[in-house]
Structure 1
Amino acid sequence: FDNQRAEHLAVREAAGLFDMTSFGKIRIEGRDACAFLNRIASAQMDVAEGRIIYTMFLNGRGGIEADLTVTRLSETAYLAVVPGATLHRCLAWMRGHVGDDFAVITDVTAAESVLCLMGPQSRDVLAKVSPNDFSNAAHPFGMAREIEIGMGLARAHRVTYVGELGWELYIPTDQTAHVFEAILHARPDLKLCGLHTLDSCRIEKAYRHWGHDITDEDHVLEAGLGFTVSRKKPAFNGRDAVLRKDEAGLDRKLLQFRLKDPEPLLFHNEAIVRDGKIVGPVTSGNYGHALGGAIGLGYVPARGQTDEDILGSTYEIEVAGKRHAAEVSLTPMHDPRSERVRA
């Protein structure tokens, strides 16, 4: 627990390095690549080259078949990045919906490794190993840039799943060891971090995890991910279900919980108790070392209720038969305005 806490706080206070080579990487290219992605993805995909878009693949009920980032590499080429566990699901979904569009879908996962440098000091670390400009003006959030790093080349994506300033470095596999060594040579005390820390950091920022917090049975609006949906696009998978839910209202909403007692732990499936009544399970949980307690996400009923009604209730989480008081929020408890992410 102390080791993982040290990793977590390094990401929050300094910098940490994650190996996320397990990301699935899918290249979509061809004359109709943009039109194809606009048809199957919820966000507007006709963006500037280098722009990174967080988007959803929705089914006809508005359920989330996948959440992913898509980067526009050129006029006719995109790179989709998905969790390693959902790679083949996403490949099958894309190939099953390509229809008559002229778009080639290729699994390029093995071509690049991914090192994620995250934390408020990540820009300083990169400046020691790269001549490129990583300022907000030159490399704003949500953009990918080709960079030199050490004696190698990489593509730096300014995105995050931990809620801090940082970059995902996509590196040709034959250059990855050199880049890793160059970074550690520049910052010998850099903390190497694992997936448990990735998870504990993301849950403080209330980032959703597909398979736990969001699934094909969870409506994108009830999951609080309406910002990934473009209502201006004329047609895309799930659009009608989104518009119906906009009109009818939400049946439930996803909340973030923090136990007031710092001792109990949350994993997932613990009972959420609202005003003395069990209303659903915790969908995912971990320990928020920066927030000082166990953090969970979970859905609560919202039909006919205002946000004030929802937040005004009394909440507890039942752990091993004992109920523990919890604070709740509809916005991330860590960095709610994403000021740290965009620093």
Structure 2
Amino acid sequence: MKSIPKQAQVVIIGGGVIGCSVAYHLTKLGWTDVVLLERKELTCGTTWHAAGLVGQLRATKNMTKLAQYTSELYATLEDETGQATGFKQNGSISVAPDAGRFEELKRGASMAKCFGLEVEVISPREAREMYPLLNIDDLEGAVFLPKDGQTNPIDVTQALAKGAKMGGAKIFENVRVCGIETKSAGTSGARRVSGVEIEHTGGSETKIISAEIVVNCAGLWGHQVGKMAGVNVPLHAAEHFYIVTEDIGLPSNLPVLRDPSSWIYAKEDAGKMLVGCFEPKSKPRPLDSIPEDFSFGQFAEDWDHFEPAMLNAMHRIPKLEDAGIHTFFNGPESFTPDDRYILGEAPELSNFYVAAGLNSIGIQSAGGAGKVLSEWIVNGHPPLDLWDVDIRRFHSFQGNSQYLKERIEETLGLLYAMHWPFRQSETSRGVRKSVLHDRLEKAGACFGEMSGWERANWFAPEGKAARYEYSYARQNWFEASASEHRAAREKVALFDMSSFAKFMVQGRDAEKVLNRICANEVAVVPGKAVYTSWLNERGGIES
């Protein structure tokens, strides 16, 4: 058996798909002193039971670029490593049963074209030609992405692990991290990671591996590992459900089907059909309810919870009514407060990086996320704008277990909910309120959430409800907002700045320092305000 080294340049905690991807990509950048530690066996946490969907279109250009890279990587990984991945590109079809959803799909298709993705807006009849099992009686239209794919999660992770080992990385299973070592990073009180404390699973003797860099890829246990380091990693487990039918003779080239309005996705799986859901109200699962030795595990069946989604699936794919059920699966996935994963260097601890909270899109995200995080580690800064997923976007209150439990009830379902412009979260609200909150509310304020603050977004006229009516057309707040703009321009307006960050810069060199940090000239006469961006150490803008 390989002996565990006493020191390493990089220690990666977690042997799921993202941990193995980080190890693989670090070796591609020439870093070979890399150690990956897995508490049980590779993929045994949440990776092994993933549906294996590899979509490419995400909400922003950079997130789409990362998903595209993942697809390109999986297409070549078997040739590189000799390890089969099961990757194939049958495409995907997303269907819309109403005008609102079809509008969303068409907007997504337009964005996909701008990002260089192949995409087709198709009629219900064309959708059925591609997917003969489809009930199109109530469909408005559909979108087809021909390069979307699917893969075997265990196999693709093993391929990444093999590629990492071919590049010099060392992987150890049945080794549990039980502590994070830190040291002073200077006179300011800042701390730097210096290693990890480990024990063999089932053992009691611990040892220290010294490390320059530690990467938390612990998935379901990412929040717990973060706590060991004094780092806030706001993620929470939720139960995720799918069924696999008996063999019903499905062709191997059948596209993945998504019907987000029915909460469901379906994919061909060796002649069977896998049907999963992202229901509007999920079942959060506290970590302390998951056994310490959880490995390739699952939870009890809950047909009452899954039944509405299954009925939706049978409506969309009538063949399911006669199909036998081979497997009912219920297992954990980790979700974040805003449905975006967590990436980057922790603000609380230098050289401690995080890649976790993949929100059920870990397989399609792992390649790109592993690549950019590795470049971030090697170069000391992200290679592109990653603020969508940067760990620094979170606040300390978002690590609160009750906050996370309430929010995760909502966020799982948001993967397939309508993505309306200006949509506001409905759960875990009221965390921070201005001292003027009651008066703003009395004046008809409709509140949105920003960094936990209840912020007055607009004021409803007398007799109207202070409530968003979402639409892709002009929304109900437009005239109310216009009247506020006119008041600010032509009369007077009072702004509540409670939710905005404020910095006091004092001292002899305050102006000199600010002129270096700011993009605009701040050497102005007292009493004058300057609107400006703050720049990072490379002169760039990050948010």
Range class of TM-score, shorter chain: 0.3 to 0.5
| Higher relative helix content | 2
TM-score by structure 1 length?
0.33
Report the TM-score, using the length of structure 2 for normalisation. Answer: 0.23
Decide which structure has the larger Cα Rg and report it: 2
Greater relative contact order, per chain length (Cα 8 Å cut-off, separation 6+): 1
Which structure dedicates a bigger proportion of its chain to strand? 1
